[in-house]
Amino acid sequence: DVKVTQSSRYLVKRTGEKVFLECVQDMDHENMFWYRQDPGLGLRLIYFSYDVKMKEKGDIPEGYSVSREKKERFSLILESASTNQTSMYLCASSLSGQQQETQYFGPGTRLLVL
Amino acid sequence: DAKTTQPPSMDCAEGRAANLPCNHSTISGNEYVYWYRQIHSQGPQYIIHGLKNNETNEMASLIITEDRKSSTLILPHATLRDTAVYYCIVRAFNAGNMLTFGGGTRLMVKP
């Protein structure tokens, strides 16, 4: 079974703090993704990575950065957290070169920025 | 990716089959039908996908109409743990690597 884990289920931070969200997958997947999910807005892609040290912007990259130093780990960084970044953050991974490109998700991190 | 239409909510009795419909009338020939579900406060979970043939796995069955304009996800014996929001997505291979979830169907399995 594919396993995608995220470092925290719940996180509370203050405005202006630097926040690290970590994601690890154990299935040797090339592709990894960070989404945020908000009521009424659905799932929105922040960044994705298709290889180590490679990254691509998604729909809403502003205020975020990412790091992929190892294949199994994809980190999302909020350089200076703001209240509008309060959200559910979801990491996903998928195998490259597969026609169907099924994405497997982690359990999510619910971030509250005060 | 083609747009999908799902009913916002459905109820199902425990132990009975849950049939969740999805309309995707603008689906293209190279687009697959995917189903995911999301249990409250958890990440989305992949269920099943198909192109034009019916598919079955340990979780569910997927029935796609011959014209591919609609599909039905079938949970053969729904349990309380199947209560979740179910998302139907159509997407092509190499569709920018992004998944887009619409509103989904909130399935409530009742004892």
> Per-residue pLDDT for A109 more than 60?
yes
Rounded CA gap, A13 and A65, in Å?
Answer: 17
Mean pLDDT value across residues A68-97: 93
- Phi, psi of B53, deg, nearest 5: -90, 155
Band (A94; pLDDT cuts 50, 70, 90): confident
Q: Are A112 and A86 in contact (CB under 8 A)?
A: yes
- Phi, psi of A42, deg, nearest 5: 70, -150
- pLDDT tens digit sequence for B27-41: 888 888 999 999 988
Q: Shortest Cα distance from A39 to chain B (angstroms)?
A: 10
Task: Between B28 and A80, name the one with better pLDDT.
Answer: A80
The predicted pLDDT at position B101 comes to 76
Instruction: Using alpha carbons, select from B95, B82, B15, B43 the residue that is nearest to residue A89.
Output: B43
Contact B34 A42 (CB under 8 A): no
What residues of A are in contact with residue B59 (Cβ under 8 Å)? none
The predicted pLDDT at position A100 comes to 54
The predicted pLDDT at position A97 comes to 60
CB count, 10 Å around CB of B73? Answer: 25
- DSSP label at residue B5: B
Q: DSSP readout, B38-79?
A: E-TTS--EEEEEESSS-EE-SS-EEEE-TTSSEEEEEETT--
The predicted pLDDT at position B90 comes to 86
Contact B44 A50 (CB under 8 A): no
Q: Shortest Cα distance from B54 to chain A (angstroms)?
A: 15
The predicted pLDDT at position B103 comes to 78
> Per-residue pLDDT for A63 more than 80?
yes
Interface with A, mutate which of B33, B88, B90, B98 (most A CBs under 10 A): B98
Mean pLDDT value across residues A62-83: 97
> Per-residue pLDDT for A72 more than 60?
yes
Q: Shortest Cα distance from A38 to chain B (angstroms)?
A: 11
Flag whether residue A32 sits within 8 Å of chain B, measured between CB atoms: no
Question: CA dist A44 to A57, A87, B41, B83, Å?
Answer: 11, 11, 17, 24
Q: Which segments in chain B show pLDDT lower than 50?
A: none
Q: Are A9 and A110 in contact (CB under 8 A)?
A: yes
The predicted pLDDT at position A62 comes to 95
Band (A43; pLDDT cuts 50, 70, 90): confident
The predicted pLDDT at position A1 comes to 65
The predicted pLDDT at position B93 comes to 58
Task: Between A67 and B95, name the one with better pLDDT.
Answer: A67
Band (A59; pLDDT cuts 50, 70, 90): confident
The predicted pLDDT at position A61 comes to 94
